[in-house]
Structure 1
Amino acid sequence: MSYLDLAERFIAAHFPKASIAVIGGSTSRAERTASSDIDLLLIGDDLLDTDQSGMATCREFEGEIFEVFAYTPGGFQEWAERSIAQYRPVIVHMLVEGLAVRSGEALDELRETWREALAVGPSVDAHEFAFRRYVITDVLDDLRDASDPLEQRVLASTLFERTAELMLLRAGKWIGTGKYLPRRLRELGEDRIGALTTAFLQGRVTPLADAVEAELSAAGGRVQAGFVR
């Protein structure tokens, strides 16, 4: 199946005023699985029927599920800046790295602008780093004290996620959610992440806590008393 042709038919049927259209995710990388949908970024003047500047919606079309992110030019600018500020620029990655369905000079200019923003990496101030260390310190103490297996499992998952984010941000890397967090974490290399990931995968509480403690120390240490959020 040509997903470019399929996407164009979908756009013509549902979002004909889109001037920019980009397929992202596994479809753009030729890594689809049995449950993959088609992530589609759309930008255009008068793209939406309401006064909204952006919309996320899920549609079925010709037997495929489309996960649509539709924006006016101003709406994309707003949401892209917001995602950059949150260190998870999903739609920016879609724009820059995805497979163009509808392109032209406007897409080329947008890609150049946001490619530079992605290359710079996240800008994280000292207070944000301190807040993240504060959260990790709190969850880490809870994990060391926990005796209930279910509590341990939930706390370990939270702690892994927060620590992985801290490691990525300290390395000047963007973070992600769900399956994208471990994918980004692996970019740091096995030597860097091995202690954390091995302990987490094996469900070993003490080695995981020790690995997190080491990351906290490398990031400046524990944060508790006196911290103002």
Structure 2
Amino acid sequence: MTAINKMKPIKAAQQFIQKWFPDCQAALLAGSVTRGDATETSDLDIIVFQRNILSSYRESLFDFGWPIEVFVHNETSYKQFFETDKKRARPSMPRMVYEGIILKNNGLIEGIKKEAKELLDIGPDEWTKETVDLKRYFITDTLDDFMGCENREEVIFIASSLAELTSEFVLRINRKWIGASKWVYRSLKDFDQEFANRFVDAFDLFYKSGDKSKVVQLVNDVLEPYGGRLFEGFSLGKIRSGGKSNDK
């Protein structure tokens, strides 16, 4: 089946469920096709709730003209993924469930969607001061490497690390969800469109011209309200008298 006559995503997903999971309790179509930002290479993300499986699993295949990622859960296994996503502050599973289009439902989906929305609304746990200081230290160290590096090949990868650390800091310090890959920009945009534009402009200028000034200013501005760069006085793992750790 060619891309020109590829089956509509919802129809393909419905037929996939009928073919492979006819006895499932519920199913959802999630991902880019449901958000309206699918591309020619997008796949179908399908979540299935099947009572008679012992543990959750993920499988990739082609069917009905589409690459398909299927995530199969029983009535409780999804909860572990919700909890794991909350701890890592990347709500992949809750977001898929909440945004998902219902393909089949025996009454199970409403409760799971409610759980997903509540988790998304609450946001990730607040960072402790120790965590904030630790992240400031790592950003400072990476920024120093970025500023001092004169090797073009190496500094490209340092810039990538700096962008990841800085975006994480901005989002987590404000108790917002983070993301990876394309979700870094999407998460920043959801938080603050103006800041997201500034972030992209700064790194875009560096990658195009080698000009580091806007990146350096951006990172300094991000850290400044929380004490600025951190190097002198930072300690990790030092044992004080009495046997107590001085971890930060």
What is the TM-score when the length of structure 1 is the normalising length? 0.89
| 2:23–2:50 CA contact under 8 A, matched in 1 | yes
| 1:195–1:208 CA contact under 8 A, matched in 2 | no
Change (3 A) 1:226 1:82: same
| 1:17–1:46 CA contact under 8 A, matched in 2 | no
Deviates more, 1:155-164 or 1:184-193: 184-193
Aligned position for 1:198:
201
Q: How far does residue 215 in structure 1 lie from its aligned partner after superposition? A: 0.8
Aligned position for 2:216:
209
State the secondary structure of the residue aligned to 1:115. Answer: helix
Q: How far does residue 194 in structure 1 lie from its aligned partner after superposition? A: 4.1
State the secondary structure of the residue aligned to 2:76. Answer: helix
| 1:42–1:68 CA contact under 8 A, matched in 2 | yes
Aligned position for 2:86:
84
Question: Could you say what the CA RMSD is over the residues aligned between the two structures, in angstroms?
Answer: 1.9
2: CA distance, partners of 1:128 / 1:105: 41
Q: How far does residue 71 in structure 1 lie from its aligned partner after superposition? A: 1.7
1: CA distance, partners of 2:88 / 2:180: 12
Aligned position for 1:185:
188
Residue-by-residue CA offset, 1:92-121 (whole Å, 9 max, x unaligned):
001011111112421101111221111111
State the secondary structure of the residue aligned to 2:42. Answer: coil
* Match for residue 47 of structure 2 among 30, 41, 46: 41
* Identical pairs, percent: 26
| Runs of 4+ residues deviating >4 angstroms | none
Change (3 A) 1:70 1:216: same
Q: Which runs of 5+ in 2 are unaligned?
A: 1-6, 237-246
Query: What amino acid is the match of 1:59?
Result: L
| Structure number, greater radius of gyration | 2
1: CA distance, partners of 2:37 / 2:222: 33
Q: Which runs of 5+ in 1 are unaligned?
A: none
Map residues 28-177 of structure 1 onto 2, 5 A cutoff. 28-47=34-53, 51=54, 53-126=55-128, 127-177=130-180
What is the TM-score when the length of structure 2 is the normalising length? 0.83
Change (3 A) 1:2 1:193: closer
Number of residues of Structure 1 aligned to a counterpart in Structure 2: 225
